[in-house]
């Protein structure tokens, strides 16, 4: 498996506080069946002033240490980049990192307030040639009142990443409901740990994968943790990767897809056509 979202780098954000914790987490990843991890520290103006060059240096240093410790885990660079002004400028200048320097970039919106002009924000990223990956929409407190927007973004080419712990109940019933619903509706592209520590928010991708497999089948579960993440690392076009299959493909009697996903008019159509 490949994990595209975690806070493994020591002492850079609210993830691993020091190298000892990073090493414990790295061993947990390996034991869990993960071969490659994207180190994605927060980039959040006003709170976490991490920058691309610094993240690259720290990833190289941690990779060296893993090799010294004989921990077979490959690291790639990335960032958990929060919605901020001049996001595209940050990508172009290298201040914000995409995943393994690919066209795919994690984008984290505010947890408690739906940003104004959310769709325009994602449109601007897509126009610049990137595929935005919305991080853990299932955990946003405003998802229930703005789910139509998330569906429109997804229909237009934004990918959705949900957290493995959400599927196992680690983030509460609300997050679990939305994670399962999005999975059932074929709205989820990537499953990732968003691991921060070895105990409370630990590397738990296999448990999430198993929970996903029970809802959408083994093949789609594999796509969530391997096929699409590998495609991201290889900078594949999204159109060359399997589209998410919901529960109806696995179990045709279970659910129906939202009508909005088929809307090809207006804003959504413009954005979708960028990827075709």
Interface contacts to Fe ion, rule CB under 5 A: 80, 194
Q: Supply the minimum distance, in Å, between the C-beta of residue 263 and Fe ion.
A: 30
Q: Are 19 and 198 in contact (CB under 8 A)?
A: no
Q: Supply the minimum distance, in Å, between the C-beta of residue 24 and Fe ion.
A: 18
Q: Supply the minimum distance, in Å, between the C-beta of residue 59 and Fe ion.
A: 16
- For Fe ion, the closer of residues 12 and 268 by Cβ is 12
- For Fe ion, the closer of residues 138 and 194 by Cβ is 194
- For Fe ion, the closer of residues 5 and 95 by Cβ is 5
Q: Supply the minimum distance, in Å, between the C-beta of residue 47 and Fe ion.
A: 13
- For Fe ion, the closer of residues 194 and 204 by Cβ is 194
């Amino acid at each position: 498996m490949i994990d595209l979202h975690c806070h493994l780098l020591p002492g850079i954000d609210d993830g691993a506080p020091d190298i000892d914790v990073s090493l414990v987490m790295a061993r947990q990843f390996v034991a869990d069946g993960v071969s490659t991890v994207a180190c994605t520290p927060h980039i959040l103006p006003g709170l976490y002033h991490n920058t691309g060059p610094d993240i690259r240096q720290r990833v190289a240093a941690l990779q060296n240490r893993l090799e010294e410790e004989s921990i077979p885990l490959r690291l790639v660079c990335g960032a958990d980049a929060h919605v901020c002004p001049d996001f595209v400028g940050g990508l172009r200048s290298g201040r914000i990192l995409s995943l393994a320097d690919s066209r795919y970039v994690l984008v984290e919106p505010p947890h408690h307030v739906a940003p104004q002009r959310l769709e325009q924000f994602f449109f601007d990223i897509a126009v610049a040639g990137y595929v935005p990956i919305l991080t853990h929409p299932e955990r946003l407190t405003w998802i229930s009142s703005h789910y139509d927007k998330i569906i429109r973004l997804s229909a237009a080419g934004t990918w959705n990443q949900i957290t493995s712990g959400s599927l196992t109940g680690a983030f509460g019933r609300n997050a679990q409901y939305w994670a399962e619903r999005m999975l059932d509706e074929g709205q989820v592209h990537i499953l990732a740990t968003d691991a921060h520590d070895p105990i409370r928010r630990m590397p738990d991708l296999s448990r999430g994968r198993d929970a996903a497999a029970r809802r959408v089948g083994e093949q789609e579960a594999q796509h969530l943790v391997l096929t699409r993440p590998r495609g991201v690392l290889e900078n594949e076009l999204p159109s060359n990767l399997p589209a998410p299959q919901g529960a109806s493909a696995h179990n045709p009697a279970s659910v129906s897809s939202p009508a909005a996903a088929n809307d090809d008019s207006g804003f959504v159509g413009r954005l979708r056509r960028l990827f075709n």
